[in-house]
Structure 1
Amino acid sequence: MEKQVESIVRQVVEDVLRKKGFAKNERRQLVIANWKMNMTLEKAEVFLEQLCDNGENRTNDVVICPPYTLLYPMNKLLQKRSKTIGLGAQNLHTAHEGAHTGEISAAMLKELDCQYVIVGHSERRAAGETDGMVHEKIKRALEIGLNPVICVGETIEQREQGFTNEVVNHQLLQALEGINDFSKLIIAYEPVWAIGTGRSASPDEAQTVHEAIRLTLSEICGTDSEAMPILYGGSVKPDNAGILSNMKDIDGFLVGGASLVANDFQKIVGTLRKGMDS
């Protein structure tokens, strides 16, 4: 009975969205580089030079999230080399300011011309970040005008026990409780078991979860859900990016290791565009 109800709800949502003329290619398509604790200024300069030499991006669909120490110099480099690549941060604190040694606030990121910030990455959750903290960080980001990239995903144990949808839905509901402005939100599905392991979800596995995410989003924010980008992350590489991007609910990628090599990252950006055009 529950599956029948879910199927009916999904069909109704799809019918409404189709009547309103929403299409995948109308959503923002993004490829976001998460450099994590990698890169020096010298390496970042070489990376950006190679990336821009391989083909300047004509749409604002590429974002680089370097370590905090590189935010200021990367902002200056991007002003000189590229007007279309966005700048993002990997985290922020829940408070506006205060005695929080080693942390960084939304206002500090905004001052450095950051447009995006990753929130709720599984590596942060593993370090003790709770659903409540993720929610507060999203609120701080939106208050200051940043685009939160909200990470959700299950562990291998949760997947093997068949709890993927329950885990992801719970994370979404907790993250977006009481949020009213959905225009800047970006969701990133990153199965924990695929991050940094070399193992990626199959296109069908990823699409199934992305479709479930969009259904949950439709229950939270109605037709705004169809305009919200849902990215895939988890061992994304040039050789699997193309087929993943062909899935109807995958709107781009949050890239880890492959984002450290300019040529690989550029190929992922290129395959995404091809997938969107096909």
Structure 2
Amino acid sequence: MTSTPHAALPDTDIAFVGGGNMARSLIAGLVRRGMPATRIHVAEPVQALREALQQDFGVNVHEGAAGAAGQAGLWLMAVKPQVMRAVCGELAAHAAARQPVVVSIAAGITAGQLDRWLGGDQAVVRAMPNTPALLGAGVTGLFANARVSASQHAQAEQVLASAGRTVWIDEEARMDAVTAVSGSGPAYVFLLAEAMEAAALEQGLPAEAARTLVLDTVLGAARMLTEAGEAPAELRRRVTSPGGTTQAAIETFQAGGFEALTARAIDAATRRGRELSAAND
């Protein structure tokens, strides 16, 4: 199921455990949509980040995780996978007492691991947003374990919808593929743009012209993909005239194994997600 980014606001206080870039983008989206800053609590050990969040958004800030989590019915876990187990251990007693819905955006950490590290019997949502969330243009894949109620399901979606669209995944095993496709996906587009710009310079285009031509081409193509209502293959077919310049380029891509290389890259990212889970267990 896919949502629009205009879901209602959560009806509970929210604790962000970790105040980095992704947490900041979600906080900004929530405040922009009308969430009272007084209902948002952020735990961030780095003083400069903590002070910037308080100054920019007026949210409640805490140095330790327990200070924020003890105030909220939804916890957004935004710490690195490598430290998630230790942070959950600090919060296990609070989780048993408050029974929050716990939303994690850590790559590779499973709902089962989070539930176990928090002491068991916890409502856990695993989420994978991507970096365009910083602009409110992201997409997030979500998986909920069996303990997540209908209201908690809605609350999690309302938080992540502040950064863009949401897509619910029924099988958690597919979340590593979500990470590989959309979580890491912006970097694939950036790599293509980087290569196109370098090729444009090799063909003698001035640097400023090359940058503008590439960036606006990527932007326009993305808009066509999202607004035209046509499959990517059909859009490609329409712009590829037989014997023309586009066909020459497409055939060169395909002769180099473009589709197979893309499939191998996404498979490698998927496998790496599973390795992260095993490494942090």
TM-score higher than 0.5: no
Larger Rg: 2
Which structure dedicates a bigger proportion of its chain to helix?
2
Report which structure shows greater RCO (CA 8 Å, sep ≥6). Answer: 1
Q: TM (normalized to structure 1)?
A: 0.28
Q: TM (normalized to structure 2)?
A: 0.27
